[in-house]
Amino acid sequence: VMNAMQRDSSLKYGMVTMCIGTGMGAAGIFERV
């Protein structure tokens, strides 16, 4: 996600999701400042 945001300067936000299993998960949102 960070590499894509560096390559394309028009991207302001990026999001990642992670599946841990057994119904758990995590997400992160990044903003270019």
Q: What is the pLDDT of residue 6?
A: 93
Q: Where are the beta strands (DSSP E) in the chain?
A: 13-21, 24-31
What letter would DSSP give residue 12? -
Contacts of 26 (CB under 8 A, 6+ apart): 17, 18, 20
Please give the model's pTM, rounded to 2 decimal places.
0.66
From first to last of the 33 residues of the chain, give the pLDDT tens digit. Answer: 999 999 999 999 999 999 998 989 999 999 999
How far apart CA 24 and CA 33 sit, in angstroms, is 30
